Amino acid sequence: MSENSFKKDSLGWQFHKLQQKIGEWWELKISQTTVKLPEVDLPSWLDNSMILMIAKVIAWLAFAFLLSWIAIQIIRLLNPYIYGIRNQINLTTKTREKSELELSVTAWLNQSQKYQQIGNYREACCCLYMAMLQGLNDRGIISNLPSRTDGEYLELIQQLSQPKPYQKLFITHQQLLFGNLEVSAAVFAECQQAYQQITDEKN
């Protein structure tokens, strides 16, 4: 028996041949079951660049609409929470403004003295300003409204017989808020003197 015939009769050789036959059979079956799709000629208008551009614009518009719709749904879901937070902030601000307005003239003057004693002349001047506003409100001359600006107050006090001491406190307050006024003991003394003139005028 030759070496060649031994190799062809061996178990490994026969297994190899079996694999080859199974592979060929599988390829034959696949080629028989594959359905050939008919070739379809697309209409020529689909190749038009203008049509393609319009299709892209429509696709982008649809995408933008979808995003907008999602954003609106999210806002609707979060709206109760946002509304609640906004109301809480407004309530806190109004309460603070109301508590500031409800302090008496005497309370503001006491606060001013306390700030003066510790050398905080800026806050001491602000307290004199608030005492003046509360005094105008208490005497029924000018209502102390949180929305009213210093400019509006300045126009209203022009009608008073002695507007200058009021002007001094209003202008100092504006400089404290919007300028770089260095508040020294001398500045506070001027504001205190202006407030004293207002008190003397009342009496």
Per-residue confidence in pLDDT tens, the chain, 203 aa: 444 554 556 667 777 777 788 878 777 777 666 555 555 555 565 566 777 788 888 989 999 999 999 998 888 887 777 766 766 665 555 545 555 555 788 899 999 999 999 988 888 988 998 898 888 888 888 887 777 777 788 888 888 888 898 889 888 888 887 777 777 888 889 999 999 988 877 65
User: Does 6 map to a domain?
Assistant: no
Phi, psi of 36 (to 5 degrees): -85, 120
Q: Is residue 8 part of a domain?
A: no
What is the domain range of residue 141?
Answer: 104-202
Is the same domain home to 123 and 70?
no
pLDDT in tens, 145-192: 777 777 788 888 888 888 898 889 888 888 887 777 777 888 889 999
Nearest to 113, CA basis, from 191, 202, 199, 198:
191
Is the domain of 171 the same as that of 120? yes
The predicted pLDDT at position 62 comes to 92
Among candidate residues 67, 85, 101, the one where a domain is terminated: 101
Asked if 185 and 121 touch (Cβ cutoff 8 Å), the reply is yes
Query: Within a domain: residue 131?
Result: yes
Same structural domain for residues 159 and 142?
yes
Neighbours of 129 (CB within 10 A): 23
* Cα–Cα distance for residue pair 77/75, rounded to 1 Å: 5
Same domain, 122 and 194: yes
Mark whether 95 and 122 lie in a shared domain. no
Report the sign of the C-alpha dihedral through residues 140, 144, 148, 150, in that order. Answer: positive
Whether 154 maps to a domain, the answer reads yes
Q: Number of structural domains, the chain? A: 2
Cα separation of the two ends of the chain: 144
Q: Are 13 and 19 in contact (CB under 8 A)?
A: no
Asked if residue 130 and residue 173 are part of one domain, the reply reads yes
Q: Are residues 60 and 91 in the same domain?
A: yes
Do both 59 and 130 map to the same domain?
A: no
pTM over 0.75: no
Domain annotation covers residue 11: no
